[in-house]
Amino acid sequence: MSDSPLTDLETLTHLRAEWAAAGRRVVLTNGAFDLLHAGHVTYLAAARALGDVLIVALNSDSSVQAYKGPQRPIVPELQRATVLAALRAVDYVLLFDTPTAEPVVAALQPDVYVKGGDYAHPVGGIGKELPEAHIVLAYGGDVQLIPYLPGLSTSALIARIQSLTREHR
């Protein structure tokens, strides 16, 4: 048995068919989950409450660098996966290397696809575009946005660490 906290897409695709046959509601979310904090934990617990199985698609290091810049992620992918997999709310962690989670969403067709409140709901929402939403809506799935908790973000945490570091020089 592997010590890896990661599950591959092929395994999850087979499990997804079993869950569908058993009437289990599958929830999928994705993100970098760099420097895991209380906002992430609250978000994941809320996502898990929407179904019976929570799958977290985790951006690989290279995909995080592509959209957050060369200084990110701070925590390497396997370490981020290990921490996520240890959370009670999370059932499976899947690493993906594409710019968006569209291929994962298309393959797994979750009953509920969840993202943070900074994204726009596909039906008249305001915020960042949610590219995976059109796939979810096409097969009849549900898209849910979970509001952010004020002041709880990785960017805010990084800024605080940098500020404290500057103060103590």
Give dist(CA 24, CA 13) in Å, integer: 14
Global pTM? Answer: 0.89
Residue 31: closest CA among 71, 75, 70: 75
Please give the CATH topology (third level) of the domain spanning 9-167. Rossmann fold (3.40.50)
Q: What is the mean pLDDT of the chain?
A: 90
pLDDT of residue 163: 79
Burial class (CB in 10 A: 0-12, 13-18, 19+), 140: exposed
Reported as a single tens digit per residue, the pLDDT across 19-75 is 999 999 999 999 999 989 888 999 999 999 999 999 999 999 999 999 889 989 999
Question: Per this entry, what is the length of the chain?
Answer: 169
User: What is the chain's alpha carbon radius of gyration, rounded to the nearest angstrom?
Assistant: 16
pLDDT at 137: 94
**Which of 73, 43, 64, 52 minimizes the C-alpha distance to 148?**
43
